[in-house]
Chains A and B, each alone.
Chain A
Amino acid sequence: MLLNSIYNEFIKIAAKPRSYISLLAVSVLVGVILFALKVDGLSYISLLTASFEQTLLFNGNILNGNLVAFIVLQLLIIQIPLLIALVTGDMISGEAAMGTLRMLGTKPISRSQLLLSKFIAGYIYTLVILIWLALMSLGLGRFIFGLGDILVLNSDGLVILQQGDTNWRFASAFLIAFLSLITVATLSTTLSCFTDNSIGPIVTTMSIIILFTIINTMDVKVFDPIRPFLFTTHMASWRSFFEQPLRLNEILSSIGILVLHIVGLMSIALYKFTKKDILS
Chain B
Amino acid sequence: MPYFNKTILLAVYIWLTFVPFLSAQKTANTLIGEVYHKMNTIKAYTADAYIEADLPMIKIQPTQASILFNQKDKFKLISKGIVVLPKQGINNLPNIIQDTNSFTAVRSGKETIKDNITDIISIIPNSDTGDVVLAKLWIDPINSLVYKSQITTRENGTIGIENYYKSQKMRGLPDRIVFTVDIKKFKIPKGMTTDINRSNSIEDKIIKDSNTGKIYLTISNYKF
Contact = CB atoms under 8 A, between A and B. Distances in A.
Interface in A135-160: 148-149, 151-160
Contacts, number: 128
B202 interface: no
A228 B193 contact: no
Given A51-B187, A58-B84, A158 B77 contact: no
A233 interface: yes
Contact of B82 (A58, A165, A227): A58
Contacts of A4: none
A236 B194 CA distance: 9
A62 B63 CA distance: 15
**B contact residues, range:** 35 or more
Contacts of B56: 157
Nearest to B90: A57
Nearest to A158: B58
B208 to A, nearest CB: 9
Interface in B173-223: 181-183, 185-189, 192-198, 204, 207
A88 to B, nearest CB: 25
B79 interface: yes
A52 interface: yes
Interface string B62-95: 0101000000000001011111111100000000
A48 B189 contact: yes
A108 interface: no
B36 to A, nearest CB: 24
Interface of A: 47-48, 50-62, 70, 74, 148-149, 151-163, 165, 216-217, 227-228, 233, 236, 239-240, 242-244
B29 interface: no
Contacts of B85: 56-57, 59
Contacts of A240: 195
B209 to A, nearest CB: 13
Given A148-B82, A151-B82, A163-B80, A53 B194 contact: no
Given A51-B187, A227-B197, A57 B87 contact: yes
B8 interface: no
Given A55-B185, A59-B79, A149-B82, A157 B196 contact: no
Nearest to B63: A162
- Please report whether the interface of chain B is mostly helix, strand, loop or mixed according to DSSP: loop
Contact of A160 (B59, B194, B196, B207): B59
B181 A154 contact: no
Interface of B: 55-61, 63, 65, 77, 79-87, 155-157, 159, 181-183, 185-189, 192-198, 204, 207
Contacts of A70: 194
Question: Which interface residue of B82, B85, B155 has the most chain A CB atoms within 10 A?
Answer: B82
Contacts of A157: 56-59, 186, 188, 207
Contacts of B87: 53-57
Contacts of B79: 59-60
A59 B82 contact: yes
B222 to A, nearest CB: 20
A194 B183 CA distance: 57
A2 B85 CA distance: 59
Contacts of B196: 216-217, 233, 236
Question: Which interface residue of A53, A60, A216, A236 has the most chain B CB atoms within 10 A?
Answer: A60
B63 to A, nearest CB: 8
Contact of A50 (B61, B83, B84, B189): B189
A47 B63 CA distance: 24
Given A152-B194, A233-B196, A51 B58 contact: no
Given A148-B82, A239-B194, 9 more contacts: A47-B192, A55-B87, A62-B82, A154-B194, A156-B59, A156-B204, A157-B188, A236-B196, A240-B195
Question: Which interface residue of A148, A149, A236, A243 has the most chain B CB atoms within 10 A?
Answer: A149
A163 B193 contact: no
A48 B192 contact: yes
